Amino acid sequence: MSAVSGSSSHRFVDLSTNPKIAALTQVLREVSAVKDPTEMLKAFGPWVGQRFPRDAFVSVSIRDLPPGKYKITRAITNPQSQSNQPSPTGNPWRDWEQLPTYEGGLIGEIVASGEPAVVTGLDLTKDEPLSNALGDYAHKLRSVTAMPAFDDGEPLNWSLSFHEQADWEDLDTFVAGLLDMNMMGTATRNLVFRKQAEALNELLMKQFEQIAKIQRQLLPERSPTLDGFILATSYLPSNVAGGDYFDYFQGEDHRLGIVIADVSGHGAGAATVMAMLRAILHCYGDTLDDPGSALDDIAKVARFCNRKLVDANLNGEFATAFFCVIDPKTGTVQWTRCGHNPPMIRRKDGSIVLLESAATIPLGIQVNSEFPSDSCIMEPGDTLVLYTDGITEARAPRHLSNNGELEMFGPERLMESLHACTGMPQCAIDAVHKALYAFTHKLERDDDQTLVVIQRAIES
């Protein structure tokens, strides 16, 4: 075939008349689609048979065996139909332990040398391993070419091609066969590793799913009721277990304690620290002479959590947190902020106030950290919005900052979404989610996204 494009004079060389190129192309196409190691020989075998004619074939492995020991993983006495020939057990990779282990004989000599070999003038009638593998056909075979398939520099697998010709010495064909066998061995080994990786990944994903399920069970099932206030929450986990945490603690005097926290990192480690923080908070009241005073000093709660996490020696893990107590009688909010994103209060008139005061470092870093507190009044119609950085740090591929990095959603867009809502908690949550999707154009999340929204109701 030749072709001319426009005024160009370039020419395609006609390859269709070369049967080897067509055959190799077909083999490579089929091999690229193979997913199971046991199917590799079926895909690659016909090509090897064309390039390297033989009268019988035996594959051998010494992987993970003591010196001098080997296993015969496949034996074929009719290479022309080898795609239909089974291994001794059907699947040598799956049934490795059931394969007999041999030593000595011709195979023992070959694998002991560790080098490619051509052996002529054979008499296999007294070679027990090969007689067992090749049956009655063994006495017809007079020469063998032994080709190692190297794995990390070691000849762990061998391909033995037998010939009825006693003086077989076609070394050019031998070189081509040695290359083909190692290509097939590498491809098969990669498939074995792939299946192992897929199995391990499936196991890990099941473990992550179990961790994530337990993590969700540790979070409150529903928002509490608070006279004169409306509450709503949203917890959207990422694809792996994360470290977001929120909780409520209601006192006998109707005050409500709220915590929102975010453990550094992702995965099982973050989920474990999150569970630790929850356990610490839930036992805090039991450490006091008067459990009813647990919400009296919010900074004391933070100090307690910090000390316990530092004592746990988290090896670099830490948690940001925002603790607050709401008094429904007065609308007073008292808080302390431990490295966490500053919450926002949307005033009745739509203006936004950041709670940036009473700030200190995250929990679990330094045992003697100071934890100041501050307070303000939520007037009727005001809405308090607590959130984790999975929201403000959400990134979108289509947005690039000035330095070329992916742009984050950021606190400014969060404020804009709160401006656009009525201030009702569920409306605020819906507005944030709508703005996030408009920015990222994706439903999956790289980090947990948590919102806790509380509005002081307008008196009717």
Tokens 């996030």 sit on residue: 436
User: What pLDDT score was predicted for residue 277?
Assistant: 94
3-state helix, strand, coil in the chain (%, to 5): 40, 25, 35
Which helix (H) or strand (E) segment holds residue 290: the answer is none
Does residue 263 share a domain with residue 331?
yes
Number of H helices, E strands in the chain: 10, 19
From residue 14, alpha-carbon distances to 19, 25, 28 in Å are: 12, 15, 20
Does residue 190 share a domain with residue 224?
no
Which structural domain, as residue segments, surrounds residue 316? 218-456
Name 148's Cβ contacts closer than 8 Å, sequence gap at least 6. 114, 115, 116, 155, 157, 158
User: What pLDDT score was predicted for residue 402?
Assistant: 58
Pairing type for strands 344-346 and 352-354 reads antiparallel
Number of domains in the chain: 2
Whether 92 and 122 have beta carbons less than 8 Å apart is answered as no
255-310 pLDDT tens trace: 999 999 999 887 778 888 899 999 999 999 888 888 888 899 999 999 999 999 99
95-113 pLDDT tens trace: 888 899 999 999 999 999 9
Instruction: Kindly report which listed range (252-256, 262-266, 333-337) carries the lowest average pLDDT score.
Output: 262-266
Q: How far apart are CA 257 and CA 285, in angstroms?
A: 12
Does residue 232 share a domain with residue 191?
no
Instruction: Kindly report which listed range (42-46, 189-193, 215-219, 282-286) carries the lowest average pLDDT score.
Output: 42-46
Nearest CA among 56, 64, 151, 150 for reference residue 106: 56
Burial call 197-221: b when 16+ CB within 10 Å, e when fewer? eeeeeeeeeeebeebbeebeeebee
Q: What's the pTM value of the predicted model, to 2 decimals?
A: 0.65
Does residue 419 share a domain with residue 318?
yes
Does residue 181 share a domain with residue 234?
no
Let me know if residue 12 belongs to a domain.
Answer: no
Does residue 222 share a domain with residue 189?
no
Name 239's Cβ contacts closer than 8 Å, sequence gap at least 6. 444, 445
- pLDDT band of residue 443 (cuts 50, 70, 90) is confident
Let me know if residue 205 belongs to a domain.
Answer: no
Does residue 275 share a domain with residue 190?
no
For the domain that residue 381 is a member of, what is the CATH number? Answer: 3.60.40.10
DSSP 337-401: EEBPPPPEEE-TTS-EEE---SEEPPBTS-TT-----EEEE--TT-EEEEE-HHHHT-EEEEEE-
- Would you mind telling me the total number of residues written for the chain in this entry? 460
